[in-house]
Amino acid sequence: MDSLLNEKKKFIRHVLSNAPPGKISDLISNLKTIFGSNAIIQNFIEDIISNYNEDNYILIPFENNEYIIICKESKSGNLYLHPNLKILANVNHLKRKLIDTTPLVKLNHSDILEKYREVCNNKLKEYVDIYYKKWNEHQIENYPTVNIGAKHGLNILFEKFSCKFMAELMEC
């Protein structure tokens, strides 16, 4: 019985880990149909999707055209840090929805490090504004899903860089 369950888990892990981004919800539905939705399989799928979201830097919509970036570097327990808004977000990985947020009251690093993070954050934003403000045909080919006319199209790219950078600072 355990070997059958392990084979199911191995199959589910392989299918979901290699899924194209737009097809993940369809695959989850199909896997639930094939294997049923018992608690063990359901919990396993949730764990795999959590890892998938973190590995692929999935964006969870927040308010005012902001996004929470799901990545291992910004994870603290089951919450995800948004360094610019200074919040911790709890998300539902299967539905890709925000459950709730908690204000980040105190940072675990010194004021000097926080000032350094802000300066680096501003310089990174400045760099993105200078070099990515004018989209050319080559960039559109490489990033076809970016809405060039969108107010926050460039902020998503910037936030992904910021997420990795903040995680490196937290390790210091």
Its pTM stands at 0.68
SS3 state of residue 69: strand
pLDDT tens by residue, 78-103: 899 887 788 899 999 999 999 999 99
DSSP string over 21-72: GGGHHHHHHHHHHHH---HHHHHHHHHHHHHHHHHTT-EEE-STT-EEE--G
pLDDT tens by residue, 46-84: 999 999 999 988 888 888 778 888 989 888 888 998 877
Whether 154 shows a pLDDT value over 60: the answer reads: no
| The pLDDT value given to residue 156 | 52
Q: Could you give the count of Cα atoms lying within 13 Å of 147 in the half-sphere of its Cβ?
A: 7
Phi, psi dihedrals of residue 5, rounded to the nearest 5°: -65, -40
